[in-house]
Chains A and B, each alone.
Chain A
Amino acid sequence: MKTLLQGNYAVAEAVRLSRVQFVAAYPITPQTPIYERLSDYELEGKLKGVMMRTESEHSAMAACISAALTGVRTFTATASQGIALMHEMLHFASGNRVPVVMCNVNRVVAIPWAFGSDQSDSLSQRDTGWMQFYCEDAQEAVDTVIQAYKIAEQVFFPVMVCIDGFFTSHFLEPIDIPEQEMVDRFLPPPDIPNRFDIKNPAYVGNVVSPEQYMVFRQKSFEDMEKARGVIKRVDDEYREIFGRGYGYLEAVDTEGADVVLATSGAMTSTARVAVQSLKDKGYDVGLLKLRTFRPFPTKEIQEALKGVKKLAVLDRNISIGKEGIWCQELKAALYPLKERPTITNYIAGICGADVSPEMIEEMVINTLKREDAPELPVWVRRDQ
């Protein structure tokens, strides 16, 4: 049913519909409305589980890991400093192979203090062994949270569903909230092994030899590779039932285009407007929406950008000392190709700074005009 909702509340609906049995969280802007709404659900008896209000995000993740080890479906949400504080436990979650699902509402990390969207908080958790999905809007967030449980509980990796602070978390828009009965049909009750004896509670993290440790890492790596098929199957099945699916990425008129704009998250929607406007003016331009960050869709990107001459990568994040993070990953993915596009990286929208369709159009046109790609990323600010 179409409902007028802010993105955070929509995510809470998805958690309720997924019949999550255990929530542990700590409030932090811009995620707090998820926490508040789940608290309301618990009070009203709509959340058929337990909500634990922890003293920190580190504890929230520790609690989710422990609960997941008893075989229940778990959820937490965080942002910014919260995910930074959680960092150590993110490794514990993937190392323990627990299917925890977390919504990270992208927000800049201090210092200076600010609230706006910036993907650096979650992208900098790249190597923690979590799956990561970046959503374009609240509708995709709802659908991805529900999908995330089905994926996580088959492959035993934790999943991070990332949405832009404010643009997605706080914008009030009509959202299609699926019927419980249909979600139940798609997502059966969890079948997670109970690995924790609550009558005799103890957690043993054995010291292992280098060879043994490597076996664990290699196995995790190989399992994440196998998970690619599961992500696709789950998305296809979701599309069949609910009429919406997203794939690893979305390529709109990219093949052989003069120029392609690659971006992720909420800026993708604004980019759609910019790309349409450029098409109307006669430009041969495509759009590449990046959604899955881990596992990274190398093959799909190579396929989508075949024959493309120029690529503009728009990043709402920055790796100081290198460039935008999606740009680095795209360059690595394209390296094996014999013919590669020249790539210009644009850094814009950091801290939720405004990115208008006109600004994006200018980035694409500048990319087309350039003979060579600049060595450093181009910073685009409205006040310049």
Chain B
Amino acid sequence: MIETKFIGRGGQGAVIASQILAKVFFYMGKYPQCFSVFGGERRGAPVAGFLRVDDKKILLKCEITHPDEIVYMAPDLVDEKEIEATLKPNGLILINNALTDNEFSSLRKFRLALIDALSVSESLGLGATINTAILGAYARANGNVPLEYLEKAIRDTVPAKVDANVKAAMKAYELTKIVS
């Protein structure tokens, strides 16, 4: 079982990103389970989406406390102490980050990947909605997500600018920097 946590700010699409990825795994014949922390959702506030995926039915109905993967859609929410305390050894960290890869040097003992998702989404007219760009980067960093399933899940979910969203995922896949 793989457990993934998406962290972002309200309006970036962290929850939708986790739901699209759940669809990708569902199309692959796997059993996904997806949920978000419920309460005070509002634009700009920190939000989290959670995803478990396994080959068989998932029975756990509890929080993900030690994820295998953390996706930070807002770089200012990266909390190195939290990563140290919760991420599994050899876990994956994907950060939406416009800075150079000199940043986050302490995280290199994990698998670290960076993508400037905002410039990808802006270049395709998607503004600050970066969820499809992040998913393209995730497919690259994770390495086990076939792009045709990602494209299908995006087309089945995104309500508008469908082609631009698919392009954002593909462009981000190419531009993702695998740091460690």
Question: Which residues from chain A sit less than 8 Å from chain B, CB to CB?
Answer: 4, 30, 115, 137, 164, 166-168, 170-174, 266-267, 269-270, 272-273, 354-357
- The number of inter-chain residue pairs (CB within 8 angstroms) is 54
CB proximity to A under 8 Å, residues B12-35 = 19, 22-23, 26, 31-35
User: Is the CB of B143 closer than 8 A to any CB of chain A?
Assistant: no
**Could you say which residues of chain A place their CB within 8 Å of the CB of B19?**
172
Knowing A174-B26, A272-B59, the reply to whether A356 touches B33 (Cβ < 8 A) is: no
Q: Of B60-68, B80-88, B131-139, which stretch is located at the interface?
A: B60-68
User: Is the CB of B44 closer than 8 A to any CB of chain A?
Assistant: no
- Docked Cα-Cα span, A170 to B60, in Å, equals 14
Say which residue of B26, B35, B59, B62 sits within 8 Å of A354 (CB atoms). B62
Distance from B1 Cβ to chain A, minimum over Cβ atoms (Å)? 11
Which residue of chain A has the shortest Cβ distance to B30 in the bound complex?
Answer: A174
On chain B, the number of residues with a Cβ less than 8 Å from chain A's Cβ atoms is 19
Question: Which residues from chain B sit less than 8 Å from chain A, CB to CB?
Answer: 19, 22-23, 26, 31-36, 38-39, 58-63, 65
**Could you say which residues of chain A place their CB within 8 Å of the CB of B35?**
166, 170-172
Sample 7 A-B pairs with CB under 8 A, ordered by A number. Answer: A4-B23, A115-B38, A166-B38, A170-B36, A171-B35, A174-B26, A272-B59
Which residue of chain B has the shortest Cβ distance to A359 in the bound complex?
Answer: B62
Distance from B130 Cβ to chain A, minimum over Cβ atoms (Å)? 21
Distance from A314 Cβ to chain B, minimum over Cβ atoms (Å)? 13
Distance from A246 Cβ to chain B, minimum over Cβ atoms (Å)? 16
Indicate if the CB atoms of A173 and B38 lie closer than 8 Å: no
**Could you say which residues of chain A place their CB within 8 Å of the CB of B32?**
4, 172-174
**Could you say which residues of chain B place their CB within 8 Å of the CB of A171?**
33-35, 61
Indicate if the CB atoms of B39 and A357 lie closer than 8 Å: no
Which residue of chain A has the shortest Cβ distance to B15 in the bound complex?
Answer: A172
Indicate if the CB atoms of B33 and A115 lie closer than 8 Å: no
**Could you say which residues of chain A place their CB within 8 Å of the CB of B39?**
115
Knowing A115-B38, A166-B35, the reply to whether A269 touches B65 (Cβ < 8 A) is: no
**Could you say which residues of chain A place their CB within 8 Å of the CB of B61?**
137, 164, 167-168, 171, 266-267, 269-270
Say which residue of A164, A168, A174, A270 sits within 8 Å of B60 (CB atoms). A270
Distance from B126 Cβ to chain A, minimum over Cβ atoms (Å)? 23
- Docked Cα-Cα span, A270 to B64, in Å, equals 13
